[in-house]
Amino acid sequence: MRLVVLDVDGVLTDGGIYLGASGSGEKVEMKRYEITDGLGVRLLQDAGLQVAIVSGRESVSVRLRAEELQISECHQDAGANKLPIVISLMERVGVDWNEVAFVSDDIADIPVLRRVGLAAAVANAVPEVRALAHWVATRRGGHGAVREFAEALLHARGEWSGRVDSYVAERELAS
Contact in structure between 28 and 22 (CB atoms under 8 Å): yes
Angle formed at CA 128 by CA 136 and CA 62, multiple of 5 degrees: 70
Whether 53 and 6 have beta carbons less than 8 Å apart is answered as yes
pTM: 0.94
pLDDT at 173: 82
Domain of residue 84, residue span: 3-173
pLDDT in tens, 58-74: 999 999 999 999 999 99
Q: How far apart are CA 31 and CA 59, in angstroms?
A: 9
- Is 175's pLDDT higher than 70? no
Q: Quote the CA–CA distance of 125 and 109 in Å, as a whole number.
A: 11
Per the structure, the count of domains in the chain is: 1
CATH number (domain holding residue 130)? 3.40.50.1000
Please provide the average confidence, as pLDDT, over all residues in the chain. 96
Exposed e or buried b per residue across 98-118, where buried means at least 16 C-beta atoms within 10 angstroms of its C-beta: ebbbbbbbbebbbebbebbbb
| H-run or E-run covering 147 | helix 145-156
For residues 164 and 57, the answer to whether their CB atoms sit within 8 Å is no
Taking the C-alpha atoms of residue 107 and residue 153, their distance in angstroms, rounded to an integer, is 23
Half-sphere exposure of 29 (CA within 13 A, CB side): 12
Q: What average pLDDT score do residues 33-43 get?
A: 97
